[in-house]
Amino acid sequence: MEKSKKICVGLSGGVDSSVAALLLKQQGYDVFALFMQNWHDASTTLHGDCEWEEDRFVAEMVARKIGIPFYFVDLSKEYRQRVVDYMFEEYSKGRTPNPDVLCNREIKFDAFLKCAEKLGADMVATGHYCRKEIALDSDGQPLKDKDGNHIYRILAGADPNKDQSYFLCQLTQAQLAKAMFPIGDIVKPEVRRLAHEADLPSADKKDSQGICFVGKVDLPTFLQQKLKPSEGDIVEVYDAYYSENGQYEFIRDTLDSLLADGQDRHARMITDYISEDKAVVRPASECPFSSDKISSLSDEQLMRLALPVRYDIEFEMETYRSGKKHIKKTRYKENPYGKIIGKHDGAQFYTIGQRKGLNIGGHKDSVFVIDTDVEKNVIYVGEGHTHKGLSRSCLRVDPEEIHWIRNDLRMLPGEERRYKVRIRYRQPLQDATAVMRDSGLYIIFDTPQRGITPGQFAAWYDGDEMIGSGVI
């Protein structure tokens, strides 16, 4: 890239963006820093103070130390409209959005980029641990689109413990063309070392946590800005429920029928979760399911396979007499499928896989949320991380929600590919078969995945390259 290009660094006050600015300056680019404020309300943060003011102060000191101009922009209006309001809407429907992915798509590489361009920037650089490359054809020549523009690849960061490519899974080629990731090729300890050598004020600053540009929050308190608390039941689901559940039986039998010859019968699915650090590691080409058998599934079968088990347990009341005076009381009749074990303050405040904040005792193992029903305001839970309702083996991405980073790698209806997939940041990549149909993209995992939640982003990779993503 020409050193004459003017680069705007999104300087957050953290060590990563600080070193990104330092490296670009050392490489001879014309660099300036732009700090953006996206949130004003400190009442919802756990610290209860204006963290952004401290971040701005540190960012400005870093810019002075490096010797680059420093600017400030308030994007709180755009952030609330494009990120926070979306969060409220999704949670109100019982879904769990990822604000960091949205922040990159809607703010950092859209609203922020436009501000940077008004200040004369040709490119925007961030402190993300990921890499960007020009895609090459089989002859090693740069690939270009129909308009003659380079086609770019998003690659995982060199530091496997800090790879942040997942957060960029919704970027377009137009956004990538303007993006730079200066620290994508180095590891976090090296970033800290460079910061210390340069005596940057952010050298020892802790990594940010919580919601992007909001900070670490108490999520229920944050959501209560627009979502009102409402008391409802917490229902524990027993194993007996699954013995007579048609959807559960369909998933089990269908996955069992897809097993390749030579595989142990009875597919490991939602009944047999294995922790990610103990999961069986297979060669990328080795799949427990037969490709031909997957291809034979109809769209209707795939759609049903991707549906989670839902819960509808009715509890009847009965009267009884208690004590010496035989006072008449009422109670729930014993139910073989489940039991009401507590109360919550709103189903919209909980997400699948959550175990904290339930305030439930009396169990040997941890209790996890396995489903929420915001219409009935009921939370369903199960005991233990191997509970039958906690994991799933298949998910579906609606056609309108599928995002391909490169159009030349789009899957066509009827096509199948082997990818590695993650559904949350820091999750190890999981082997899966992607099946493209007119009804959507279906992802069938080799091993069951814990806590698949509507509203999350699934991102799929071919080796180090992120190929696409979509909302579950």
**103 catalytically annotated:** yes
CB-based contacts of 376: which residues, under 8 Å, 6+ apart? 232, 347
- DSSP per residue over 197-213, as a string? HTT-TTTTPPPP-SBTT
CB-based contacts of 210: which residues, under 8 Å, 6+ apart? 45, 46, 216, 217
Q: Which of 99, 114, 109, 115 is nearest to 132 (CA)?
A: 109
Helix H or strand E encompassing 441: strand 440-450
DSSP structural state of residue 388 = T
CB-based contacts of 325: which residues, under 8 Å, 6+ apart? none
CB 39 within 8 A of CB 215: yes
Q: Annotated catalytic residue: which of 8, 103, 115, 287?
A: 103
CB-based contacts of 95: which residues, under 8 Å, 6+ apart? 453, 454, 455
Phi and psi at residue 110, to the nearest 5°? -140, -80
Cβ count within 10 A of residue 359: 9
3-state secondary structure (DSSP) of residue 176:
helix
DSSP structural state of residue 10 = E
Helix H or strand E encompassing 443: strand 440-450
**394 catalytically annotated:** no
Q: Which of 175, 52, 55, 69 is nearest to 113 (CA)?
A: 175
CB-based contacts of 81: which residues, under 8 Å, 6+ apart? none
Buried b (16+ CB within 10 A) or exposed e, 407-438: eeeebeeeeeebbbbbbbeeeebbbbbbbbbe
CA dist 421 and 445 (Å) reads: 8
Q: Annotated catalytic residue: which of 130, 169, 212, 287?
A: 212
CA dist list (Å): 304 to 307, 354, 417: 5, 25, 20
CA dist 126 and 384 (Å) reads: 40
Beta-strand runs (E) in 210-337 = 232-237, 317-322, 327-332
Active-site amino acid positions: 103, 212
